[in-house]
Amino acid sequence: MGDKEIITIFKDIQNNIKHADNGAYIHVSDFKKFYMPLINYYITDKERKNIDLYIIGIQGPQGVGKTVFATLAKAFLKAAGYRVETISVDDFYKSNDERLKISKKHIKNPFYQISRGMPGTHNHELLFKTLKKAKAAENFCIPRFDKSLISGRGDIARDETRINEQLHFLILEGWCINMPARENKFLSSVKKNRYVNDIFNKIDPKQEYFKLVLKYVEKYQKIWHILDSNTFIFAKNASWTTNWRKEQEKKLIALRGQGMSDKEVNKFVKPFIPFNYFIYEELVQNNNKTHCLIEVGRDHTPKRIRMPSNS
């Protein structure tokens, strides 16, 4: 694929993301330098492993650019002649009624008093079966979750996307992908960052409620094992996650007249921060060389990239 074709495809997709989803802006030179080599890595790794369907997991905290990268990767893989689809862990949220039952069951647990997002609020069995069907080249359906329903709590939409062809690539994105279920490691990881530790201690002062989150995470591990490649997009400063979400909500208010206030963003985002940092410690600081890593700056500009060696 030549430079002109890359630039044309990139600009079309970038503009669509920017206008439709308020996605992060990526400069074309950064895309060519950092992201295009990663997309080429997926192609090379698929060929090397001789895999019919290559499933890519893309993980990162809220606002880091997961959906933007997944959309760009899909467009370029399609342009290269591959059949590819993207799905999100968010597509597999349980119904509002089911999530309310979880919230009431764990009424004292602050991690389950937010409307959605934590492990346990997804239909992980359906996600697992969907990936297994895709791997077996069977037809499968991608559900749709409408976050605007029920005053922003969200619910399962009636429509779904049916896939009736064998894919070459399937991209799965979500914040909790590859989160390990290691209780002892969680506490030691969180304590390494004062900002994160302060948030955690305010939410869970007795250090007991987080255990339920990791108990639910155990049920997700079989999903992570299906993935053929893992990409972790991260930022060194944990506070950027909250700022990014605030900026996104302000854009939504200006564009659509509705969105969360700064206070509502703080309440929604902060419970995720300790777990995001836990994943960061496990995948980056512990030098896990099985993952592709992209570090982004405060302005979403990529700073460095690391890919596993094809050996």
Report the run of H or E that residue 148 belongs to, with start and end.
none
267 occurs within a structural domain: yes
Range of the domain at 178: 3-298
Taking only the tens place, the pLDDT of each residue in 133-174 is 999 999 999 999 998 888 878 899 989 999 999 999 999 999
102 occurs within a structural domain: yes
308 occurs within a structural domain: no
Mean pLDDT for 194-200 is: 96
Other CB atoms within 10 A of residue 87 CB: 23
* CA distances to 35, 131, 263 from 227, in Å: 20, 9, 36
CA 199-202-203 angle, 5° bins? 85
Task: Write down the pLDDT at residue 172.
Answer: 98
Whose tokens are 């895999």? That residue is 51
307 occurs within a structural domain: no
d(CA 110, CA 203) in angstroms, rounded, equals 7
284 occurs within a structural domain: yes
d(CA 111, CA 140) in angstroms, rounded, equals 32
The Cβ-side half-sphere exposure at 299, using a 13 Å CA radius, reads: 6
**Strand runs (DSSP E) across 175-291, as ranges?**
229-234
138 occurs within a structural domain: yes
Please state the domain count of the chain: 1
CA 242 to chain centre: 16
Collapsed DSSP state (helix, strand, coil) of residue 187: helix
104 occurs within a structural domain: yes
Q: What is the CATH number of the domain that holds 98?
A: 3.40.50.300
Angle between helices 194-203 and 183-190 (to 10 degrees): 120
Q: Which two tokens mark 53?
A: 């369907």
Taking only the tens place, the pLDDT of each residue in 5-31 is 777 777 776 666 554 444 556 777 888
Question: Letter for the amino acid at 58?
Answer: I
- How do 169-174 and 84-88 pair as beta strands? parallel
d(CA 300, CA 222) in angstroms, rounded, equals 31
Mean pLDDT for 197-213 is: 97
Torsion, Cα 25 75 64 61, to 10 degrees, reads 170
d(CA 240, CA 244) in angstroms, rounded, equals 6
Compute the mean pLDDT over every residue in the chain, rounded to the nearest whole number.
89
CB 124 within 8 A of CB 87: no
285 occurs within a structural domain: yes
Is the per-residue pLDDT at 3 higher than 80?
Answer: no
d(CA 190, CA 4) in angstroms, rounded, equals 45
Q: Which has more pLDDT, 246 or 285?
A: 246
